[in-house]
Every structure is written in C-alpha cells, then in structure tokens.
Amino acid sequence: MYDEYDKELRAKYPMLYTDIECTSCGKLMALSNAIRKDYQYLCFTCNWREEMPEEKFCLTCPNIIEDERDFCPSCGPINDAEKKTPEMESFLNKVAGSMFGRTRDEANKNKVCVMCGNDASKFTDLLSEKEYKISHLCQSCQDKTFHSE
C-alpha cells in the first residue's frame, strides 16, 4: 500500500521527489529537503554550519566541537586521519616521490598537489580541505580520484 501511495505522490509532484546534490558537501538529498540559499541548494548540516560560522564543527557530523582537544562526542578525535606515525609518513613520502616526482612534505610546504603539482589552496568545501591534509591532492585531482562519472 505504501508503494502505491508513494508512486501516486511521485506522479503528482515529481519535483518534490527529484534528487539533488548539496552545493557545499555533495550529499545527495530529496529536493523537498534542500534549503535554497543564494541560488545554491544546501543540506541541513551545511545550512546549519553557515548559520553559525563562529562555531567549530566536526567535518563528518553536525556536532559542534566545544572541546579544545578537537574531540567530537560522536566521532571521537577529529584530526586522527591527519596524524600518521613517522614510519608511515616516511613510506608515503617515498611512494609519492617515486610516483609523482615530489614528496608529500614538499607538496604540503609549497601548498601544491602531490599528484599534478598545481596550486592546492582553493577547495569547494571543508571536506575537500580536510582531504588535502590527508592525501595532499588538489581539488581537481580529488574530483578525478573520488568522483568518477
């Protein structure tokens, strides 16, 4: 019965059931759940973050981080992905150097992409900025690597 009702609603109001991507984080949501602001569609979490810019938010959930140790009550330490052992950093630098001709440390120091060598100072969202701290990939290389179409 629910499926029939859902089909009727989709037929009657097709725009409400159109999936759309959040302009900020890329999360897929129903158009009826999107918040439209300045010609952009935002999910609830991204809209909330824009409404409260002075607050520090966890990058993976909508929690506000009040702890000076950057600890999210739901996700735990929020900077763990950026911290690697010296042995792992050394290994990743060797691999990046042999694959791309530049180490991760060089890329980070010069704020360039480890893969292509282009500028890595502009990102489309907070998640992409965090990903740069982990992988040292610019926005363009992140899009090519993670958003296959």
pLDDT, tens digit, 9 for 90 and up, residues 16-40: 556 778 777 777 777 666 777 777 7
Q: Which of 16, 11, 50 is nearest to 34 (CA)?
A: 16
Whether 86 and 136 map to the same domain: the answer is: yes
Cβ atoms of 57 and 49 within 8 Å: the answer is yes
Structural domain includes residue 70: no
Asked whether the predicted pLDDT for residue 146 surpasses 90, the reply is: no
Question: Are 92 and 137 found together in one domain?
Answer: yes
At residue 37, the pLDDT reads: 73
pLDDT digit string (tens) for 53-107?
Answer: 556 666 666 666 665 566 676 666 655 555 677 888 889 899 999 999 999 999 9
111 located within any domain:
yes
Shared-domain flag, residues 40 and 89: no
Number of domains present in the structure of the chain: 2
pLDDT tens string 118-132: 999 898 888 888 888
- Whether 148 has a pLDDT exceeding 80, the answer reads no
**Could you tell me if residue 77 is inside a domain?**
no
Looking at the structure, tell me whether residues 41 and 95 fall in a common domain. Answer: no
Q: Comparing C-alpha atoms, which of 84, 110, 95, 122 is closest to residue 143?
A: 122
Mark whether 42 and 6 lie in a shared domain.
Answer: yes
| Residue 62 forms part of a structural domain | no
The predicted pLDDT at position 115 comes to 93
My answer on whether 134 and 91 are in the same domain is yes
Rounded to 5°, angle at Cα 60 from 57 and 61: 65
Which pLDDT does position 5 carry in this prediction?
Answer: 62
The answer to whether the beta carbons of residues 89 and 104 sit under 8 Å apart is: yes
In a domain? residue 66: no
Domain extent at residue 110? 82-146
What is the rounded average pLDDT of the residues 133-146? 89
Q: Is residue 20 part of a domain?
A: yes
Is residue 61 a part of any domain in this protein?
no
Q: Give a yes or no: residue 75 inside a domain.
A: no
